Structure 1
Amino acid sequence: MDEYERNIIPQIEAIYDTFTALEKTIADYFIHYDGKADLVSKNVAKRLYVSEASLSRFAQKCGFTGYREFLFRYQQSFGTTSRSGASHHIKKVLNSYQELLNKSYSLMDEGQINRIVDMLSKKKRIYVYGKGSSGLAAMEMKFRFMRIGANIEAITDEHIMKMNSVLLDGDCAVIGISVSGKTEAVLESMKIAKKCGAKVVLMTAHTGKKFLEFCDEIMLFALKENLEQGKAISPQFPILIMVDMLYSQMLQLDEYRRETLHEYTLEALDER
């Protein structure tokens, strides 16, 4: 597939926790919009029992000048797709993956990817913190980046995580992974690492101003309802999309040497 939808729903979901109760009502409407009703501000306001001024403030909080600009961007990317030849449950899984791919494309920031890769390539040691499914993604990141010569370690135990964070310095980089952005052990360890001089990157589905106090970069990945519980698909999927983007970009740095290292590691694994 060569074309992807770029839409603003991932942006709304990323700042959802910062909305007031009224703004969440508006956000929910646009996140779950079925395309059947018109989106004229007067009619939407009446439908949601809010004022048109509330719609305007919501649009501004999402980064637009007003509701008109928000609506233009929203309608630009709004569309429906249909799939046939599969059962309802199979369609649901496929649609979920496609939705996350489209959202990942919308959230992808190539400039940020280049900055993070440049940061990682200059550090002597890289540590990836994560728990649960995020910990599994951290382990996968370790295995991928080790194969191209990165000195990287994944830490999934919160006690080791905290002990490790106090031993870091300016030669280190820490990548913390938390779908919710609320994993206390990961966030606290990242704060300590930052105080010790390490560069810090947070990978999350939820952003907030509080992260700016201790993060050099906040890399957003896509979110889907109930993703953290892994009810329909693996919660690691959107994380690994972003990990693969970083991996692909890092592979381009000194490409010949890194591809050679990759081949050597594969040969080592094949040896009996």
Structure 2
Amino acid sequence: MSDYQRTVIPVIEAAYDSMTAVEKTIADFFINNNERMDFAAKRVAQRLFVSEASLSRFAKKCGFKGYREFLYHYDSTFTQNKKVVDNLTKGVLNTYQELLNKSYALVDEQQMQRIALRLGRNPRVFVYGKGSSGMAAQEVKLRFMRLGLDVEAIVDTHIMKMNSVLVNEKSLVIGISIRGKTPEVLSSLRAAKEHGAKTVLITGNAAGSYPYCDEILPIAVTKNLEGGNIISPQFPILVMVDIFYAYFLNTDLVSKSALYLNTLGALSKVPEE
């Protein structure tokens, strides 16, 4: 990643939910615009059928003193396409970009479809992981529960071992191990397979030998990733999870979208006293 674009678009998006309908109209204009033009308050107000005062309120909602200051920063998107950043910042961003590029190269669309179908066919799903992989397992649970999937994240070693002998052919067990060498996760996957469960291993060591796994889902890795020295170890795991989440959602978009909205509604309900 050699260029870092200076833009106030993320600032607008961060304030979007707190805006009025008129302010959102203004926000949409600036977010979706991709060409340089005359952004004078009078001209923009006429174009959007809003008042100049609305432009000022919009700019203040975004954290600027007024429309003039907002416009100065917005206009820099077209006058300066590189942002001078500290070497440490650039190093972190470059590593994330590297992992995204590697993830794209590793994606197998047919495999993603198979995993999505397995998620739909198995009524019980268990996700095993320890440490940073365990944190990713918790995120998998939260994501897929919102789509109505019966999924449980297991990060305790003893429960992992016990659970693996209680699963059956109706279960899907997903193990996460960045190096592909976490003994508790691997042995639990092996035991789950022996009891008839379908098994998936998410790992940065896809070249390893895992005959007890039905699917090996590779993730991108970089130096010292597992230790979380600079980059969060969960990042490449969750990139792949997000991809097969999209495939799973797309298998029955209407009903899964409805379930997602229902679960969000349940979360927003205020408990009765």
The C-alpha deviation readout for 1:39-89, integer Å capped at 9, x for no partner, is xxxxxxxxxxxxxxxxxxxxxxxxxxxxxxxxxxxxxxxxxxxx7510000
Aligned to 1:131: 130
Matched, 1:159 2:185: no
Matched, 1:108 2:73: no
What is the aligned counterpart of 2:258 among 254, 257, 260? Answer: 260
| Counterpart amino acid of residue 267 in structure 2 | L
Inter-partner Cα distance in structure 2 for 1:141 and 1:209: 24
Q: Is the 8 A contact 2:180 2:208 kept in 1?
A: no
Inter-partner Cα distance in structure 1 for 2:244 and 2:268: 26
Give how far 1:208 is off: 3.3
Segments of 5+ residues of structure 2 without an aligned counterpart are 2-81
Inter-partner Cα distance in structure 1 for 2:107 and 2:229: 25
Q: TM-score when scaled to structure 1?
A: 0.68
What is the aligned counterpart of 2:228 among 194, 219, 230? Answer: 230
Give how far 1:187 is off: 0.3
In structure 2, the residue corresponding to 1:229 is in which secondary structure?
coil
Aligned to 2:239: 241
Q: Which runs of 4+ in 1 moved over 3 A?
A: none
| Counterpart amino acid of residue 246 in structure 1 | F
The C-alpha deviation readout for 1:124-179, integer Å capped at 9, x for no partner, is 10000000000000000000000011111000001000000000110000000000
In structure 2, the residue corresponding to 1:203 is in which secondary structure?
strand
Q: Report which of the two structures shows the higher radius of gyration computed on alpha carbons.
A: 2
Matched, 1:251 2:249: yes
The C-alpha deviation readout for 1:228-259, integer Å capped at 9, x for no partner, is 11111100000000000011110012111111
Inter-partner Cα distance in structure 1 for 2:117 and 2:249: 12
Give how far 1:180 is off: 0.8
In structure 2, the residue corresponding to 1:248 is in which secondary structure?
helix
Inter-partner Cα distance in structure 1 for 2:125 and 2:253: 20
The C-alpha deviation readout for 1:200-251, integer Å capped at 9, x for no partner, is 000000023521x101000000001000111111000000000000111100
Aligned to 2:121: 122
In structure 2, the residue corresponding to 1:243 is in which secondary structure?
helix
Segments of 5+ residues of structure 1 without an aligned counterpart are 2-82
Aligned to 2:143: 144
User: CA RMSD of the aligned region, Å?
Assistant: 1.3
In structure 1, the residue corresponding to 2:213 is in which secondary structure?
coil
Alignment of 1:187-206 (within 5 A): 187-206=186-205
Count of aligned pairs between the two proteins: 190
Inter-partner Cα distance in structure 1 for 2:250 and 2:123: 19
The C-alpha deviation readout for 1:8-47, integer Å capped at 9, x for no partner, is xxxxxxxxxxxxxxxxxxxxxxxxxxxxxxxxxxxxxxxx
In structure 1, the residue corresponding to 2:237 is in which secondary structure?
helix
Inter-partner Cα distance in structure 2 for 1:209 and 1:92: 30
Q: Is the 8 A contact 2:154 2:160 kept in 1?
A: yes
Aligned to 1:90: 89
In structure 1, the residue corresponding to 2:247 is in which secondary structure?
helix
Larger RCO, structures 1/2 (Cα 8 Å, 6+ apart): 1
In structure 1, the residue corresponding to 2:226 is in which secondary structure?
helix
Aligned to 1:174: 173
In structure 2, the residue corresponding to 1:210 is in which secondary structure?
coil
Inter-partner Cα distance in structure 2 for 1:209 and 1:225: 18
